Amino acid sequence: MKLIKTSTAGTMESNDIMITLEPREEGGISIDLTSNVMQQFGRQIENVIRETLTKNGVENAAVIAVDKGALDCTICARCCTAIFRAAESDAYEWEVKQNVR
């Protein structure tokens, strides 16, 4: 996934996370995370962000994340929104929920 512009997704409201994604040519992924539950969940939040970027083929990007107590599904959703906005694409491959098939 080729990122072509800086994007943001999410809000600063409780239970949400604001993700800013800046394209980079190289240097891998850097994550600057602020969270009011940093001590307990900081590593988990970073993992979700990193996994979502990797899964969507983003190899180089600078992420600024301000977390307000978001669940993993919210972090994933906001990351995906930021990625596809930065790539100016809507070709997301929606996956089927387990047990639905």
Binding site for another protein (CB under 8 A): 9-10, 13-16, 70-74, 76-78, 80-81, 84-85, 90, 92, 94-97, 99-101
- Work out the angle at residue 73's Cα, subtended by the Cα atoms of residues 20 and 45, and round it to the nearest 5 degrees: 55
CB of 87 to another protein, least distance (A): 12
CB of 25 to another protein, least distance (A): 26
CB of 92 to another protein, least distance (A): 8
Contact 19, 8 (CB under 8 A): yes
Contact 10, 18 (CB under 8 A): yes
C-beta closer to another protein: residue 12 or 38? 12
C-beta closer to another protein: residue 33 or 48? 48
CB of 14 to another protein, least distance (A): 6
DSSP string, 45-84: HHHHHHHHHHHTT--SEEEEEEESS--HHHHHHHHHHHHH
